[in-house]
């Protein structure tokens, strides 16, 4: 039986987002799926079952014109992000990685207090608002900022090294770490995760919400006063993504 839930995905053209979009379109849990972003998935790359897909190119510098709130989305999935190396400066990195994400989620939040919405954010392993490193600090600050927006439920994923990303650019640091964690993953599932598994886990969290997550996932409450969220680490994401 088809559900009437609606889902918005921000960042559907990224490494994880493209897999998540396919999961959302193939699931009967969603009656409408919105893909909003600076660019959207080309028609040639979309699956055949795309009748419930609504695509819209938006300007993150002019979100008032984007109509994000009009969709009355039940779940907002965020897989949007970048790297300093890709955009060229720390300032631009923080603008895209944090400001765009937080502002878009704020814009997607309905004014109807009776409509309980959920936001599911793909962060990063090691995310920490006090981190001395730009990338992990930005992710940690974004987590807290999203938790302060007032969504009924905020779920954050902190995966390990992503395997099978098929990114256009090579990320040397991830490649090196990948070899190391690849060997260690034979002993622990806390180090790496295959992107399709992560995408499945993210969608399931969007469906189940914090209160419906299996105890085996090991989700915990994190954040701070006035900015709490449910945190799923890499091991829990693997478990959730691989569950039938």
Q: What is the DSSP letter of 15?
A: T
Whether 135 is catalytic is yes
Whether 151 is catalytic is no
Q: Which of 135, 137, 200, 235 is catalytic?
A: 135
Q: Which of 5, 18, 109, 139 is catalytic?
A: 139
> Closest Cα partner for 20 from 48, 56, 57, 47?
47
Q: What are phi and psi of 131, to 5 degrees?
A: -65, 145
| DSSP string computed for 146-188 | HHTT--SEEEEEE--EEES---SS--HHHHHHHHHHHHHTTT-
Element (H, E) at 40: none
Question: What is the SS3 assignment for 223?
Answer: strand
What are the catalytic residues? Answer: 135, 139
């Amino acid at each position: 039986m088809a559900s009437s839930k609606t889902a918005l995905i921000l960042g559907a053209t990224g490494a994880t987002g493209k897999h998540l979009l396919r999961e959302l379109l193939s699931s009967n849990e969603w009656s409408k799926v919105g893909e909003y972003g600076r660019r959207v998935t080309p028609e040639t790359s979309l699956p055949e079952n795309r009748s419930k897909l609504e695509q819209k190119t938006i300007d993150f510098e002019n979100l008032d014109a984007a109509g994000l709130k009009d969709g009355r989305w039940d779940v907002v999935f965020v897989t949007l992000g970048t790297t300093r190396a890709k955009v060229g400066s720390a300032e631009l990195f923080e603008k895209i990685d944090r400001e765009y994400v937080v502002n878009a989620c704020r814009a997607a939040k309905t004014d109807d207090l009776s409509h309980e919405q959920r936001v599911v954010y793909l962060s990063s392993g090691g995310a920490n608002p006090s981190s001395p490193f730009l990338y992990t600090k930005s992710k940690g600050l974004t987590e807290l900022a999203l938790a302060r927006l007032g969504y009924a439920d905020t779920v954050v994923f902190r995966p390990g090294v992503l395997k099978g990303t098929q990114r256009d650019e090579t990320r040397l640091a991830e490649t090196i770490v990948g070899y190391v964690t690849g060997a260690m993953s034979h002993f622990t599932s806390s180090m790496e995760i295959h992107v399709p598994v992560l995408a499945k886990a993210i969608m399931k969290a969007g469906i189940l919400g914090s209160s419906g997550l299996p105890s085996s996932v090991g989700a915990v409450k994190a954040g701070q006063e006035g900015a709490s969220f449910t945190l799923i680490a890499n091991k829990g994401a693997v478990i959730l993504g691989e569950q039938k």
